[in-house]
Amino acid sequence: MVKNLGSTDKIIRSASAAIIFLLILTGNLAGAAAWILGLVGVVLLATSFMGFCPLYKALNFSTNKAAAGKK
């Protein structure tokens, strides 16, 4: 699995997940919206830690400059 996320992309994904989780924990998001966005947050956090996004792979896209130079 070739990493296709650059450092800026990872930071944005992690920050977005943190904001989503904070909104859920403070009660600003509730019900179905909390569940759906919570799942989105988990996916964002997981892809950030792995450095790999399956959607980017399907679209043949990469924000990782090191991996993009190896093509």
Q: What is the pTM of this model?
A: 0.85
Q: Does residue 2 form part of some domain?
A: no
Please say if the pLDDT value at position 69 is more than 70. Answer: no
Domain that holds residue 37: 15-68
Tens of pLDDT, residue by residue over 19-64, are 999 999 999 999 999 999 999 999 999 999 999 999 999 999 999 9
Q: Does residue 19 form part of some domain?
A: yes
Q: Does residue 20 form part of some domain?
A: yes
Quote the longest CA-to-CA distance of the chain: 46
Q: Does residue 29 form part of some domain?
A: yes
pLDDT of residue 68: 57
Q: Does residue 7 form part of some domain?
A: no
Q: Does residue 3 form part of some domain?
A: no
Q: Does residue 10 form part of some domain?
A: no
The tally of domains found in the chain comes to: 1
pLDDT of residue 1: 83
Please say if the pLDDT value at position 18 is more than 80. Answer: yes
How wide is the angle at C-alpha 39 spanned by C-alphas 3 and 17, nearest 5°? 65
